[in-house]
Structure 1
Amino acid sequence: MKILLIGATGLLGKAVKQELESEHEIIGAALEGADLNVDMTKPDQIREMFEKVGKVDAVISTAGDAPFVPLEELTPELNDVGIESKLKGQINLVLIGVDYVNDGGSFTLTTGILMDDPIPKGTSSAMANGAITGFVKSAAIELPRGLRINSVSPNVFSEASKEHRDTFQGFEPVSIKQVALAFRKSVNGKQTGQTYKVY
């Protein structure tokens, strides 16, 4: 398969690429340092990316940012970071990308454990994760041409920085390899409308 991987230069994106590259052609996209540069908060750049890549068999997103701040410090402007990047950015990959994915192809988006198990400072991320999950479940029944859509919801990675892991007090980190396997399941499988939770 020809797979477009957005977020290819990040910790998770690199792990997903390593998991899939032996059997698939991977084209990486990221803000910088990948095959293609794209800011997924900008729909015009998403369209330009798909025009450059052409038809693909799968689109994977391991990208998306959201602020980690206490609720009393979460201003509308800060919250817009999560809305524009993690939420709308990933959804726009689907809305724009649907015409570029071959019949029977797939989209796989990334959410996270905070939608189910909240932590202090995680409200904006939880909001985006939950909204993406709802979008995936609903979009699955309407996508044309046998297209599929799923999301992967990981716990904190054992490979993440100590500072990041310390944010998730009492959580048992998971290996990034386990999370990458969930993306393999989504791409190589036949299910749709699913959230693969790696908790």
Structure 2
Amino acid sequence: MKILIIGATGAIGKIVTPALAQKHEVITAGRNSGDIQVDISSADSIKAMFNLVKNIDACVCVAGDSHTGDLATLTEENLNLGIKNKLIGQANLVLIGQNYLNDNGSFTLTSGKMGDKPIKNAAGKAIVNGGINSFMMAASLEMPRGLRINVVSPSKISDIPVNDLIDGYLKSIENGTNGEIIKINY
């Protein structure tokens, strides 16, 4: 299987990418590193990436920033960091990428525990992660050509057993799962 991983050098990417590369052909993409450069906050950059990479069976996104901070100091600018980068960026990967992925391919997006179980100082993360989850559930009902879409929603990376995290991404990519929020270590 040929897998495109966006954010391969980030905290999750450093864990998941080598595991996927053991069984699959992996192409990495990132803002400043990887086989291909991409800025997921830009639809033009996403289109350019998909025009360079051909015959993709799976697109995995483990990239995207969002704001952490208390509600009293949360601003529209803080919210827009996560909305433009992590939420709209991942939605655009699907909206644009559905025209490029091979038939029966899959998208795996990444949200986070704050979308379901927020804590104090996490409203910026909650809105973004909840939005990713909702987008995926709705999109899974309309994916063309047998394409699938899932979200891996981990808790804090440092608290998760590495194998649990890897298994979540493998489940989304390899098991025919569609429309599922794969919760890791809640």
TM-score by length of 2: 0.97
CA–CA distance in structure 2, aligned partners of residues 82 and 145 of structure 1: 30
How far apart are 1:175 and its partner, in Å?
2.0
Give secondary structure in 2 for the equivalent of 1:107: strand
Give secondary structure in 2 for the equivalent of 1:89: helix
RMSD across aligned positions (CA): 0.9
Give secondary structure in 2 for the equivalent of 1:20: helix
How far apart are 1:14 and its partner, in Å?
1.6
Aligned partner of 1:60 in structure 2 is 60
Aligned partner of 2:175 in structure 1 is 189
Aligned partner of 2:90 in structure 1 is 90
Question: Structure 1: which amino acid aligns with 2:170?
Answer: R
Question: Structure 2: which amino acid aligns with 1:109?
Answer: L
Q: How do residues 28-177 of structure 1 correspond to structure 2 at under 5 angstroms?
A: 28-158=28-158, 173-177=159-163
Aligned partner of 1:8 in structure 2 is 8
Give secondary structure in 2 for the equivalent of 1:99: coil
Could you report, residue by residue, the CA deviation over 1:93-129 in whole angstroms, capped at 9, with x for unpaired residues?
0000001111100000001111122112211111111
CA–CA distance in structure 2, aligned partners of residues 157 and 76 of structure 1: 27
Moved over 3 A (4+): none
CA–CA distance in structure 2, aligned partners of residues 113 and 98 of structure 1: 26
Give secondary structure in 2 for the equivalent of 1:197: strand
Determine if contact 1:67/1:78 at 8 Å carries over to the other structure: yes
How far apart are 1:90 and its partner, in Å?
0.5
- How many residues are paired up? 185
Query: Structure 1 unaligned runs (5+)?
Result: 159-172
CA–CA distance in structure 2, aligned partners of residues 62 and 157 of structure 1: 12
How far apart are 1:180 and its partner, in Å?
1.7
CA–CA distance in structure 1, aligned partners of residues 93 and 44 of structure 2: 11
Give secondary structure in 1 for the equivalent of 2:172: helix
How far apart are 1:141 and its partner, in Å?
1.1
CA–CA distance in structure 2, aligned partners of residues 180 and 81 of structure 1: 27
Query: Structure 2 unaligned runs (5+)?
Result: none
Aligned partner of 2:165 in structure 1 is 179
TM-score by length of 1: 0.90
CA–CA distance in structure 1, aligned partners of residues 116 and 94 of structure 2: 24
